[in-house]
Copies of this chain bind each other. A is one copy, B any other.
Amino acid sequence: MKHQSAAILVIGNEILSGRTREANAHLSAQKLFAYGCKLGEITVVPDIEERIVTTLNRLRSEFDAVITSGGIGPTHDDITMDAVAKAFGVALIEHRHIVQAMTEHYGENGLNAGRRRMSRVPAGAHLIRCEKTIAPGAHINNVYVLAGVPDIFASQLEAILPDFGGAPFLRREIEVAMAESSFALLLEEIQQQFPDVEIGSYPGRCGNKPCGKICLSAQDAEQLTKAEHAANEMLKHLLIKSSD
């Protein structure tokens, strides 16, 4: 059974201090949408073990699966593997396949303490390999532990996406050259008619005039087309009325 819902847990002081603009959550959101898995929450916490453990345990009970990003490198601030092991109440072990691959890659003397740190995974975890790095991510139960470096994260994400989703979500957007407030009530009626279509309205400005987009998404193409048609008809009538 594939995961129908998911949460993203980003771990890193550098995000919370504003040093780095987070990128992996947005990529995950786009990919999960395309795969048909509902992303229900994104949470960013600092490099503090207790905060990671508490948040991970909450998210993995509320959603089918959790993808974590960050904190699996060789330095003291990389504590995600420790926290995941603690959250599951299992030991953190040096995985012999990783030690072996690193020994082959760096030589016997190249396997220093930092690299050895990257060979540790929660006991019972499966490795998530990708071509970008010799240090793999880990998959234990419904939690997927990925690297924070964006190109490694992206590569590891591709490796796990087949575990997620169902019917892909589809999206349609309608450009609207009027203020949201002029169609707000009518759009709400359409939302009530089509409860399985998610309808959002996002304002913008075109020059100095209000404009915006109505965004519709659903897994059922027929419902989506009907709702889109209803929204277009509603807007057409409003435009005729306003030009009377």
Contacts and interface: CB of A to CB of B under 8 A. Distances in A.
Given A13-B200, A114-B181, A19 B171 contact: yes
A76 B215 contact: no
Contacts of A113: 181, 184-185
Interface string A32-50: 1110001111111111000
B112 A77 contact: no
Interface string A180-205: 11111101100100000011111100
Interface stretch (A20-28, A80-88, A90-98, A122-130): A20-28
Contacts of A179: 114
Number of copies: 2
Q: Which among A13, A18, A118, A201 has the highest number of chain B CB atoms within 10 Å?
A: A18
Given A16-B40, A114-B180, 15 more contacts: A14-B202, A15-B42, A17-B33, A17-B169, A18-B26, A18-B31, A18-B34, A19-B215, A22-B26, A40-B45, A40-B46, A40-B51, A76-B188, A113-B185, A114-B179
A32 to B, nearest CB: 7
Interface of A: 10, 12-22, 25-26, 28-34, 38-47, 51, 73-77, 112-115, 117-118, 149, 169, 171, 179-185, 187-188, 191, 198-203, 215, 217
A167 to B, nearest CB: 15
A1 B199 CA distance: 42
A25 to B, nearest CB: 8
Contacts of A203: 73, 149
